[in-house]
Amino acid sequence: MSEPRTPDTPVPATQPPERRARLLDLRFVISLMFAIFGILVTIAGLTAPPDQIERAAGINISLWTGLAMLALSAGMGLWLVLAPPDVPEGHVVDESDLEGGTSGQPPAAP
């Protein structure tokens, strides 16, 4: 068992900030969404009956659309890897920050 937490016990981060920022980046969400839908549409295109392809002027639209969605997903994922999001560093509170009291004023110079 672990020790009970007190209010002043810091909570350890389970993942580094860079990984958390990458998971919350909009490019990751868009890439994941296009990958899921691209797989589904590609499967639908691969299993399309011949009469359905003939009604679409002989072009397997579902297959080509699914492949385009997978390509877009790969592009967004590559963009995320090549240009990762900036993660600003947080401010660490130390004793000098607490010497000013609760008034919000900086500590007086000696």
In a domain, 66, yes or no: yes
Nearest to 63 by CA among 76, 53, 55, 73: 53
Nearest-5° angle of CA 98, CA 100, CA 103? 115
Q: Which domain holds residue 34?
A: 18-82
Count of the separate structural domains present in the chain? 1
In a domain, 13, yes or no: no
* pTM, 2 dp: 0.61
Kindly state the percentage of the chain with pLDDT values over 70. 63
Q: What is the pLDDT of residues 53-105, one digit of tens each?
A: 899 899 999 999 999 999 999 999 999 888 877 767 766 777 776 766 555 55
In a domain, 68, yes or no: yes
In a domain, 4, yes or no: no
In a domain, 49, yes or no: yes
In a domain, 106, yes or no: no
Most confident of 15-19, 34-38, 96-100: 34-38
What pLDDT does 47 receive? 94
In a domain, 39, yes or no: yes
